[in-house]
Chains A and B, each alone.
Chain A
């Protein structure tokens, strides 16, 4: 699974990264998270509200940090 976090370095982007790492650890997955901070690249994903999470080249949500349970389901389903 390929995980990208799109964000310009705001507080919520860091919070999302921390949460994603935590959930990955809970699931026993060891996957690198790629951070995308270049605005051109963020926008080219069709994303304006940061942070956004991209799983396997698909934007799964943007603009907010999902509840940990939702994120867990999402990552476990891949």
Chain B
């Protein structure tokens, strides 16, 4: 029995002009909105509504609207681009690339692939089992699972938009280093005994289907559009709360309050301890992070907070509990949190 081709729709594919003209128009519109965002809100809030930029209310309300628009614009642009690029990758392809790699190089490759492979934490369990059952070493698999949420494309772009490319590059670099070395360390500890035994008994039958194959450009663009809508739908409540909290701090907390109260060596551990159980996503944390930094919290502390929120999430740990024993989960959290701590201290020392 033959499988009908899913992707090539039988009627003539759309012409190049019809396919790319909306993309080009969208890009121009995006750029214009992004460019005029600040002048627009200055005009609305200060000239039309007559708010005082020096007042708590004025600056808080202005910050809220300006930031909501800026972050929504950044998010939609990035998700669109990233989804198109990632449609060329898949966990199946990544597993094939990692098969047979040893510790070390394999961990670095897994961390790098964790960034570019489309992966939803809801498939963490099948991916973990699929990797291990196919013979990818445990430590290498864990490097992938650590890097994937930690070096998060939304976080990268928002960091780039808010703090510049240097901070975004440091974030990517240290995220990769933590994922690589945490995986190597966990691999060395021979933790296979803390993996539920049925994982190793799983037999792979059937030929895996690679979702990245056989897609047309129309498919990729449609997927990207749908992904933008679905992510914005998912994150907007986090975003509004995050920006609301950010706006409140922005308007009311005195400048350098955090430098005075949280700037000491305890700042980083406190940020990690608060960040690990806090479950949000990059879009919701970023406005808070931005404003904390504005108010004098050092960059290392800010990044450590951000990393611990996105990298270690309770729901993912609960999912992984189906395949990992609590001791392994605790070790995993411990090793990653230590890496984040070290990164925070290092950044505070060098930046």
- A-side residues, CB < 8 A to B, are 8-12, 39-40, 42-50, 52, 56, 58-64, 66-67, 69-70, 73-74, 77
Closest-by-CB residue of B relative to A45 is B206
Q: Determine whether the beta carbon of B202 is less than 8 Å from that of A73.
A: no
Q: Determine whether the beta carbon of B120 is less than 8 Å from that of A48.
A: no
- B-side residues, CB < 8 A to A, are 1, 3-4, 6-7, 9, 90-92, 95, 118, 120, 122-123, 125-127, 129-131, 133, 198, 202-209, 211, 222-223, 319, 322-323
Nearest first, the 7 A-B pairs at minimum CB distance are: A63-B211, A10-B122, A48-B130, A46-B206, A46-B208, A43-B129, A39-B125
Closest Cβ–Cβ distance, residue A23 to chain B (whole Å): 13
Given A42-B126, A43-B129, answer yes or no on A63-B4 (Cβ-Cβ < 8 Å). Answer: no
Closest Cβ–Cβ distance, residue B339 to chain A (whole Å): 26
Q: Determine whether the beta carbon of A61 is less than 8 Å from that of B6.
A: yes
Task: State the majority secondary structure of interface residues on B.
Answer: loop
A residues near B91, Cβ cutoff 8 Å: 48-49, 63
Distance A45 CA – B206 CA, assembled complex (angstroms): 6
Known: A8-B125, A43-B126, A74-B3. 13 other contacts (CB 8 A): A43-B130, A43-B133, A43-B202, A45-B206, A49-B123, A49-B211, A50-B120, A50-B123, A58-B3, A59-B208, A59-B209, A63-B90, A66-B6
Closest-by-CB residue of A relative to B226 is A65
Distance A9 CA – B125 CA, assembled complex (angstroms): 12
Q: Determine whether the beta carbon of A44 is less than 8 Å from that of B222.
A: no
Q: Determine whether the beta carbon of B95 is less than 8 Å from that of A48.
A: yes
B residues near A62, Cβ cutoff 8 Å: 208-209, 211
A residues near B127, Cβ cutoff 8 Å: 48-49
Q: Determine whether the beta carbon of A40 is less than 8 Å from that of B123.
A: no
Closest-by-CB residue of B relative to A78 is B1
B residues near A46, Cβ cutoff 8 Å: 130, 204-209
Q: Determine whether the beta carbon of B126 is less than 8 Å from that of A61.
A: no
Q: Determine whether the beta carbon of B209 is less than 8 Å from that of A52.
A: yes
Closest Cβ–Cβ distance, residue A43 to chain B (whole Å): 4
B residues near A61, Cβ cutoff 8 Å: 6, 209, 211
Distance A47 CA – B323 CA, assembled complex (angstroms): 16
Distance A73 CA – B10 CA, assembled complex (angstroms): 10
Closest Cβ–Cβ distance, residue A65 to chain B (whole Å): 8
Q: Determine whether the beta carbon of B209 is less than 8 Å from that of A43.
A: no
Distance A44 CA – B198 CA, assembled complex (angstroms): 12
A residues near B122, Cβ cutoff 8 Å: 8-12, 50
Given A40-B198, A46-B206, A48-B92, answer yes or no on A58-B126 (Cβ-Cβ < 8 Å). Answer: no
